[in-house]
Structure 1
Amino acid sequence: MSTGPGADSAPVHKPDTRTRRGGETFSSLRIRNYRLFFTGAIVSNTGTWMARITQDWLVLSLTGSAAAVGITTALQFLPMLLFGLYGGVVADRYPKRQLLLVSQAALGLCGVALAVLTLSGHVQVWHVYLIAFLLGMVTVVDNPARQSFVSEMVGPEQLRNAVSLNSANFQSARLVGPAIAGVLIAGVGSGWAFLLNGLSFVAPVVSLLLMRTGELHKVERVPRGKGQLREGLRYVAGRPDLVWPIVLVGFVGTFGFNFPIWLTAFSGEVFHVGAGTYGFLNTLMAVGSLVGALAAARRGSTRLRMLVIAAGVFGVLEVVAALSPAFWLFALLLVPIGMIGLTVNVTASSAVQMATDPAMRGRVMSLYMMVFAGGTPIGAPLLGWVTDAYGARVGFAAGGLISLAAAVVVGLVLARVGGLKVAVGWRRGHPQVRFVARERLTTAA
């Protein structure tokens, strides 16, 4: 049955597999299907950021409790931690375009339901908890399906560029969505912000319906069978080039990305700058993240060495920011922190996707997202406790030190697996530390 214009009944077109020329930031947008996907995502991502801000504000208004806001966030991420791997099995088993049509429509319905409850004046905090949990359940399938669908739209040669542009898309919405939400909350109330978020998912649904399925890169579907989850875990366990990037991004995501806790604490307790400046700090991070995404889109290759270095620099920057004596220095450091943090995420995501067999990509990406996002319910309360008990500077520095330590350990493990060894020497009068092949060291000796 046809699902809309350009569906299976349309004439078959050859996939656009033109090789991107070096330095073209937006090269994957030449592909029609991805261009549609990207356009729909701009609208829905803006709505999602509107809903995030409005949801937190609504819960705070209903309860007066910051802990209740934390519970809402935990409920939204908890399904990924509990059921994320099963979402990957579903994504590998069924056509991803059809899965996304269902999941995006479901996300929109959740937004509309919360809007109706709020506009009618009947909303209670348990309603918000329930809808947050339902959103998380839908995301369990939507996330691996959406991430692995990118490769079907653009092919392997454009994958890194498309992953980077997806991140740029999300960060652009992060700049616009909260501002729109603030205007709507102040002007007409939270319910209308929720309604616009729900309606925003019409855009990705329409973009999926308009795609030419004949231009998608075909991927062999995994038939229903027993042991597919274990098969995915065994596949990753036998691949050090998958295991260690996932481990690294897990530590960085769990302990290094708790910015809502730290920025709130620094704004109120350290620099005493108020809520308005807190929003400004978030904007600075979003600007850095957007710059990092666009820079990643220009790079033509993905190397694990870059991932390890970026994670290490990210940790160092967090420690420096934690010790910053002046507000202006702290604020300025948020831009490179956002940029390098986004580089870690994009590099890890694209490296894992490009190294994975297409038939396994859904399960592998679900594991990736389970480790990266599923660590939030663990890391946020732990780092929140450290921040409350020992202060904002100690909490922020702890997250940075853990990220740095993870980068060092994973870098050494990858070097050992790859038959590399640390070489220390001098180059043009300056000390230099680098990894070289063991055979080369033996020959030089």
Structure 2
Amino acid sequence: MTLPAALAHPAFRAYLAGNFAGLNGMWILRIAMGWLAWDLTGSAAITGLVAFLNFAPTLVSGPVFGVLADRIDPRHGLVATQSLQFLLAGALFALAAQDAITAPVLLVMSLGIGLAASAYHPLRMTLAPRLVPREALSQAVAMTALNFNCTRMLGPALGGWLLAHQGSDVTIALAGMLFLPQIYSFATMPAMPPTPRAPEADGAPARGWIAGIFNEMAEGARYVAARPLIRDAILLTAVVSLPARGALELLPVAADGLYGQGAGGFGALTATAGGGAVVAAIWLARGSPSAARMRRRAMVCAAISLACVALLGLIESWPAAIALVAGLGFLGTAVGVSNQTIAQTQTSDGRRGRVMSLWLLVAIGGTSLGAIGIGVLSDLIGIRSALLAVTAVSAIGLAAIWRMSDKG
């Protein structure tokens, strides 16, 4: 059997293998921190805040790292960011072993991990397209998503089992160790000099290092605004991330607070979401439709995902909740991968870091705002009402994007 075109390239295979280990570590660490936040405090707001701080640095520093991703060899930055995550996981393990973890400790650690991740994501999105020829790029994006979502299914299931049977210290230790193969894969890849920088749209770059960064950030934003396909992909990602991804970040609250299923139920729900995402990624990897067709598909899946979030706020059955979370995993991945593929394939190499950092800004920013928003509202009006309220706001945004897309 012939390998898919993207897998014919050894560097891309090494990238997938290293990421498989590191992403499992990321999911297990997030599962452990989310569960500890809920177990220690019983507060949906604190649990949401831990998730928010894990993503919040991307809102501030993500675009800056996007500019830097266009300027440096991405391997060096990736080794640095994942080494930092390994060290933070080690510190968290030491505290867990001494039974010294508190809510403030979790908040500080989540912020540190979020800062490392805000650099990691634009760097990895700049690296992956350079490992395959452009004609294999759509397939590489889909296979990267499949890899991500396989770990999204395996990591939470393993993390939930470890929390229930081995304790938080063992869970965190394993998460930290899984970053090491990823660091090794980045460190041993061939050198990748920065791609030639695209000329600025408004003349010569601004003088000064800091001024130059902000000038390039602004140029990247203008580049996106002038291209409706990329613009709509980024806006649609924001609208879906707020309710759908935000709700998935509060699965500890749903699993235990609504259904009384404990850590095992939390792991089961998160793994179920990952299972739905894997099915979506396999489906998406089978073809390479046009950007316009991908946009239409993303719009439809976005509308259905909002309906799933609303139903999650209405139903009281545990089996039905599992089915809806699986649907959210499938639909969220279909929207995210379609929009990411549009942004990747429609962007020139010299601007890729900046454009993808904007995509990440809304994807991760929407998720973090959704997590903290749903968490705070849950403490005020209950999680069911919170899910319905956030879904209603997002539905208005989706209608606006749909109308703008029709006009474009």
Give distance in 1, aligned partners of 2:285 and 2:150: 14
In the alignment, structure 1 residue 297 sits paired with structure 2 residue 257 = no
In the alignment, structure 1 residue 80 sits paired with structure 2 residue 58 = yes
5 Å-filtered alignment, 1:317-332, equals 317-324=308-315, 326-332=317-323
Distance 1:61 1:412, change over 3 A: closer
Q: Contact 1:315 / 1:402 at 8 angstroms: preserved in 2?
A: no
Letter in 2 for 1:72: V
With normalisation by structure 2, the TM-score equals: 0.85
Distance 1:217 1:93, change over 3 A: closer
* Partner residue in 1 for 2:297: 306
* Partner residue in 2 for 1:132: 110
* Partner residue in 1 for 2:11: 33
CA RMSD of aligned residues (A): 2.9
* Partner residue in 2 for 1:250: 238
Letter in 1 for 2:122: P
Give distance in 1, aligned partners of 2:126 and 2:9: 16
Letter in 1 for 2:297: M
User: What SS does structure 1 have at the residue aligned with 2:26?
Assistant: helix
5 Å-filtered alignment, 1:11-410, equals 26-60=4-38, 62-63=40-41, 65-186=43-164, 188-213=166-191, 219-221=195-197, 226=212, 227-260=215-248, 263=251, 267=255, 276-301=264-289, 302=291, 303-324=294-315, 326-410=317-401
Larger CA deviation: 278-287 vs 160-169: 278-287
Q: CA deviation at 1:268?
A: 5.4
Distance 1:273 1:100, change over 3 A: closer
**Higher relative contact order by CA 8 Å / sep ≥ 6: 1 or 2?**
2
User: What SS does structure 2 have at the residue aligned with 1:373?
Assistant: helix
Q: CA deviation at 1:102?
A: 1.7
Q: Deviations over 1:125-162 (max 9, x none)?
A: 44433222121111221110101211101132222222
Q: CA deviation at 1:416?
A: 1.1
User: What SS does structure 1 have at the residue aligned with 2:56?
Assistant: helix
Structure of greater Rg: 1
Give distance in 1, aligned partners of 2:41 and 2:306: 35
Give distance in 1, aligned partners of 2:327 and 2:39: 34
Give distance in 1, aligned partners of 2:165 and 2:268: 21
Q: CA deviation at 1:56?
A: 2.7
Q: Percent identity?
A: 28
Q: Deviations over 1:224-251 (max 9, x none)?
A: 6722222222222222222222111112
Letter in 2 for 1:169: N
Give distance in 2, aligned partners of 1:264 and 1:58: 10
Q: CA deviation at 1:362?
A: 0.5
Distance 1:51 1:238, change over 3 A: same
With normalisation by structure 1, the TM-score equals: 0.79
Structure 2 gaps of 5+ residues are: 199-204
Give distance in 1, aligned partners of 2:379 and 2:98: 38
